[in-house]
Amino acid sequence: MDLPLLPAGPVPARRAMLIRRIRLLVAATISYNVVEAVIAIGAGAAANSTALIGFGLDSVIEVSSAAAVAWQFAGRDPQRRERAALRIIAISFFALAAYVTAESVRNLLGDDHAGHSTIGLTLAAVSLAVMPGLSFAQRRAGRELGSRTAVADSQQTMLCTYLSAVLLIGLGVNSLFGRPWADPIAALVIAAVAVKEGRDAWRGKACCTPQPSVVTSGGSCCTPQHHSSGH
């Protein structure tokens, strides 16, 4: 659900608070994804599940995206680092799409099927509950602050939510009905979404779509600024 654009950038005190909030959200995302990666890769290896292993590797990519935002906002002028951070996020999307596509095709064509994983099902369900809240909070703060990088990272966190749903469905259908093709088919759809998000981040379109009715001279996250105070 898209959030409305604000007609002008936040005042300095509000801006400082938003930057602190984004830093905390990024730290929470990194911490959660590190734990998620360790659990998913371990459970995937135990159950011979490429979907779980892929989900764990996706968490590693999520960490690189969050780290790019942390690096941007660690500087005294976050806007100067925005382009480089957006490129890192875009490359993470492309890498994720390539891996998910390759693994999906391999799973569809191969005979190596995964076994049941209670840990994997639990992890997917927890991630499906946790990730939307993190994504929404970071997206809201990023849009108000005018940071395309924070919004792009929030989109990648939301993509992790979709992958959690795919993993939960795939593992569930495989465990209940013995249909190993369900996960790779759904994962191919997620790969297509990742390509689109990566392309948008690379082009700097991750923040929002301009809406003339709400954009004023104060600017927004979609309009370039030409004064030192930022957005």
Residue 155 belongs to some domain of the structure: yes
Residue 166 belongs to some domain of the structure: yes
Quickly tell me which residue has 């005294």 as its tokens: 76
pLDDT value of residue 205: 62
Residue 34 belongs to some domain of the structure: yes
**pTM of structure:** 0.68
pLDDT digit string (tens) for 86-102? Answer: 888 888 889 888 988 88
Residue 225 belongs to some domain of the structure: no
Residue 109 belongs to some domain of the structure: yes
Residue 133 belongs to some domain of the structure: yes
pLDDT value of residue 226: 41
pLDDT digit string (tens) for 64-76? Answer: 777 777 777 777 7
Q: Can you spell out the DSSP letters for 5-50?
A: PPSSPPPHHHHHHHHHHHHHHHHHHHHHHHHHHHHHHHHHHHHT-H
pLDDT digit string (tens) for 46-59? Answer: 987 878 888 888 78
DSSP helix/strand/coil, 102 = helix
Residue 220 belongs to some domain of the structure: no
| Average of per-residue pLDDT across 131-153 | 88
Give the separation between CA 207 and CA 184, rounded to whole angstroms.
Answer: 30
What CATH code is carried by the domain that includes residue 143?
Answer: 1.20.1510
- Which residue segment(s) compose the domain that 41 sits in? 12-202
Give the separation between CA 157 and CA 178, rounded to whole angstroms.
Answer: 30
Residue 211 confidence (pLDDT) above 90:
no
Give the separation between CA 184 and CA 198, rounded to whole angstroms.
Answer: 20
DSSP helix/strand/coil, 230 = coil
Residue 165 confidence (pLDDT) above 60:
yes
Give residue 26's identity as a one-letter amino acid code. V
| Average of per-residue pLDDT across 197-224 | 51
Residue 226 belongs to some domain of the structure: no
Q: What is the domain count for the chain?
A: 1
